Amino acid sequence: MSIFDLTGRTAVITGGNGGIGLGIAQALNAQGCNVSIWGRNADKNKSAAATMSAGPGKVDTQICDVSDPASVKAAMKATLDTFGRVDGCFANAGIGGGGRRAFIDRTEEEWRKMFATNLDGVFHVFQAAARHMTERAEAGDRFGRLVATSSLASLFGTARNEHYAGTKAALNALCRALAVELARHGVTANAILPGWIKSDMTAGIMANDKFVANVLPRIPVRRFGEPTDFGGIAVYIMSKASSYHTADCFVIDGGYTAF
């Protein structure tokens, strides 16, 4: 069973009220997976849930600030009270960019804020989910999927966004380590790594001849894909404007992780 095949199971989606997170929530719900959307904005949570009203899976929403451990703990308890279990956890916490100032001009506050936003939320959510999944494993129910969204910045770097690249590289390393640690519990850890495709969101970049000639060939885009393709590849679900695309990954001790 691939990480995107959660038919009849329950998944938590953080940041599931827009963009990547909403795409993942819709894909899982359409296959019959119950979905619990965790977000800080009640109205956005409600709007996201409404887009899945026709799906066969049940939908729940929880107010949650993923940077706050107490909020994550409360959201996990509420989700378990509703569905009884959590089988998948898709963490889409984080921010990108943060301005175009050079590394030597960054303040410590900017650096710490970027790391806290991109890493702390994933840590808190993954830890809560992993505790639940390993407790189930000890009772003989070995199953769990932890998935975080990464970035090509973690492989290729990015000028004037080096602090963002650093957080995403750390996220990849976390998923690789978790893939090894949690494999004995039947839990896989994955970092979903995107490539580039032509879309409304990337039109400006694609219009840059130097980018197309010098940078694009070095980015490991493989082909367009669907969630059901997941096996030896990673699937990255973006907004409708960007559609689906895939990148390579490899297997460590039973867990898929980004390469």
Gap between the Cα atoms of 103 and 99, Å rounded: 11
Gap between the Cα atoms of 86 and 12, Å rounded: 7
Torsion of CA 21, 162, 128, 239, to 10 degrees: 0
Joined tokens for residue 99 = 């301005």
User: Which stretches of 58-186 are assigned E, i.e. beta strand?
Assistant: 59-63, 88-91, 144-149
Which of 166, 156, 159 has the alpha carbon at shortest distance from 221?
A: 156
256 is catalytic: no
From 164, 236, 244, 256, the catalytic residue: 164
Residues whose CB is less than 8 angstroms from the CB of residue 53 and which lie 6 or more positions away in sequence, other chains included: 59
Catalytic residues: 164
